[in-house]
Structure 1
């Protein structure tokens, strides 16, 4: 899935010349926590989020003055706290994605930048927006991978998942399957990897339950043993 498949196409926007009060009212009325800001030519120049409004003078002096070390001497803090214009308060240099950006890449971008929404642009103009709720909807609608029936097919699928997703070596582990019940044997280098192996096995379609008999040892593969 790509951005074009999950994005909201009808996007509410703000002008840089809109008032901060208008922006706050628009967010409340539409139950959104951030709005893109394009210029008169439709090019995205910033985004205004709830976080940008936490240092407003309307909230009192402690909100806009910042930390003791910065105080009122920082003109940027004063501007963000007192200006009525969205263009002065918004966050410029917005992180964006293209329409063909994959959903896993979008999730990675959100995580890396600790943001809740990503505008989707085409030639600099906004054509949609992807929020965390759009990501959640994609997860809820995900269809499990189809795995061929039979214990041997399940064993191959589980082994492949352990190697590709968890990075385990086939020399270090073994998998048995009986009537859909999977048992994991072998050695891994950490408790976290042991649990990751269980999760990966449980994610394979057709697996009934998983018995995790992996040991946590010094080496990560049998080939490393003396």
Structure 2
């Protein structure tokens, strides 16, 4: 199975000046755990995850004052839609992260998460309803 079969094509894209509260509200509304941060001044794409927001809050930082660009991971590993799920899982394991931005033709085509991969690997009859 390939990344294109598992990825979410609903990509939440935010700007570098969004506050962490704004980012969290958008992520919550879309029910996603990561946002692609588009920052042309900093060289392109980065990722802001729910863990980045949680770490900031844990440090006592103000989510209304903290900006996405200060918490964005810019050293990002990108996947392509033609990667296998094994390749994506290996990259996540090696890098210690749970989301990959999927690039196709130079732009973000989707995001694949550990949860997306597990959903594909576990047969539907074994999945427990939430």
Question: TM-score scaled by structure 1?
Answer: 0.47
Q: CA deviation at 1:93?
A: 1.4
2:95 is matched with which residue: 113, 129, 137? 113
Residue of structure 2 equivalent to 1:13: 13
Contact 2:12–2:27, Cα closer than 8 Å, also in 1: no
Q: CA deviation at 1:33?
A: 2.1
Residue of structure 2 equivalent to 1:134: 116
Cα distance in 1, alignment partners of residues 55 and 87 from structure 2? 31
Residue of structure 1 equivalent to 2:22: 22
Unaligned runs of 5+ in 2: 125-130
Q: CA deviation at 1:92?
A: 1.2
Residue of structure 2 equivalent to 1:102: 84
Cα distance in 2, alignment partners of residues 107 and 121 from structure 1? 16
For CA contacts below 8 A with separation 6 or more, give which structure has more relative contact order. 2
RMSD of aligned alpha carbons? 2.5
Residue of structure 1 equivalent to 2:127: none
Cα distance in 2, alignment partners of residues 44 and 10 from structure 1? 19
Rg comparison, structure with higher value: 1
Q: CA deviation at 1:123?
A: 4.1
Residue of structure 2 equivalent to 1:50: 50
Q: Which runs of 4+ in 1 moved over 4 A?
A: none
- CA gap 1:84/1:96 in 2 versus in 1, 3 angstroms: same
Q: CA deviation at 1:105?
A: 0.6
Unaligned runs of 5+ in 1: 65-80, 143-226
Contact 1:4–1:100, Cα closer than 8 Å, also in 2: yes
Q: How many residues align?
A: 121
